[in-house]
Structures are given as structure tokens and as C-alpha cells.
Structure 1
């Protein structure tokens, strides 16, 4: 199982808005060109980020901008805003056999461990401010040039 790409698309979207916002209108088509994701998905991502209060989006081709200071939100905030929390990091097969000694007990023995891992994952995301990603992007651009 893997975490939905909605999260990484949302992070990529925010980094594009931050990086290019002062230079040009950052539209869903522009972001789609960077992410390689369909502009319709980018528009949905922007709506989620807007609902979370992280961006504002001008109608039509007005573009998007971040409305919260980069040090005021974290990867966990983006994770929540992207709708990724609706999906557990760990998927579970739907119909373990209750008559089997393993199938009948799998949830009892595994669920708490998976919940602990999910919590650790979310705490790890909460420890990374968006401003740190901005700095890392700036450093990566300098090293590339």
C-alpha cells in the first residue's frame, strides 16, 4: 500500500505557488505543467487548499497565492488539507476469515501497531514546517545552477 499522491501533489502545488507567485500568475495549467498532473486534479487540489485556508484562488486565470506565512503551517497541515487523512496509511484486507485462528485475531493483534505507526507518521509530518521546504528548494536550485 502507498499513501495517496494527493498529498505530494498538494505539496508540489504549494511550492510552485510560493516559488513563482512573484513572477507570474500561478494557474492550474501552470502547476499542471510542473507536476505532470491533469489541470482538473490541480483545480481540486487548489479547492482543498483553499478550504483549509492556505491559499486564495482568483476566478478564471487569475492564479493562486498562499495566504499563510510559510512558517505557520506544516506538512501535516498539507496532509490534512489534501484529504489524505481520509485514507489510512495502511490498508487492510477486507474479509479476514473469522473461523481461522489468524484471520479471527488479525485486527486484535495488528490494529494498535498500525495506529501507532500512523500516529508516528503524522507526528513526523507535523515536525516539518513549509518554510523548511522552501529553504530546501532554494538550496537545491542554487546547487543545480
Structure 2
């Protein structure tokens, strides 16, 4: 049976875009969670990973919340991907039986393919910033050709 798709990247981009739309304002996780249709605990887990990566900062307390650490023009989508996925493979990988020669060949081939796919993915994601997502430049570029 297929496993559910990991949506942390999409939710992370969504949360960062919401923060970019409120520069200099602290936003609480409860209100941030509404737009991507998630719960506050899930939003906090994702924001915590983004904080560890230095993309957002947090402040506890009733007047606290979350804020971008940098201008949205300086945060590209590759940074978000890396913050949320680390060194995880892009492709779904499995570990074959150690004594299966075919399994070892397939595994090594897929690892090499995964490294190339990861480089291509990160290269493409690095071309887009959170500010561009906020401005909808991506959609306009796609519509224009």
C-alpha cells in the first residue's frame, strides 16, 4: 500500500509565505495553522525545524510567536527543503537483502539516481524565493510560458 505524501515542505513554504506577508509582526502558531489547514502543533513542529535552520525566530509568551529571521528575498525554497528534509533521499529507498546481488545493484543504481535527482531538485528550488511565492511570480512565469 502506498504511503502518504510528506507535505512538510508545502506547509513550510505556506507558513513562511504567511510570515513574509506580515514583516516585523509576531504571528502565533494557532493563527498560522489555519491557512494551510493544519493544526497548531504540526505548524510548531515545522516552524521549529525552520528555526533550527535559521529561517525563522520565535518568542515565547502572550505577545510572542514566529517571525522571519531574514528578508523573504533571501530565503529560497532549497533552504526550506533542506531545513525540512535534511539529507533524506528524494526517492523512496529500501534496503535489499544483503545476499541478493540484483538487490545490491538496484540499490546502488537508485542511490546514484537519487543523488542526481536531489542536485536537480535543489538547483530548481534555489531559483525561487519566499518573496516570489508571496508575489505569485511563479504562477505568472508558468502562465507566460
Superposition TM-score tier, normalisation by shorter sequence: 0.7 to 0.9
SS in 2 for 1:89: coil
Per-residue Cα deviation, 1:69-105 (whole angstroms, up to 9, x for no partner): 11112001111222x1242111222224744x53242
Per-residue Cα deviation, 1:95-138 (whole angstroms, up to 9, x for no partner): 24744x5324212333212211121111111111222112108x
Unaligned runs of 5+ in 1: 141-145
SS in 2 for 1:13: helix
Give the stretch that moved more between structures: 106-115 or 28-37.
106-115
Unaligned runs of 5+ in 2: 141-145
SS in 2 for 1:105: helix
Say how many residue pairs are matched.
Answer: 136
Matched, 1:132 2:98: no
Q: What is the TM-score normalised by the length of structure 1?
A: 0.78
The equivalent of 2:50 in structure 1 is: 49
RMSD: 2.6
Q: How many angstroms apart in 2 are the aligned matches of 1:93 and 1:8? A: 24
C-alpha contact (below 8 Å) 2:89/2:114 kept by paired residues:
no
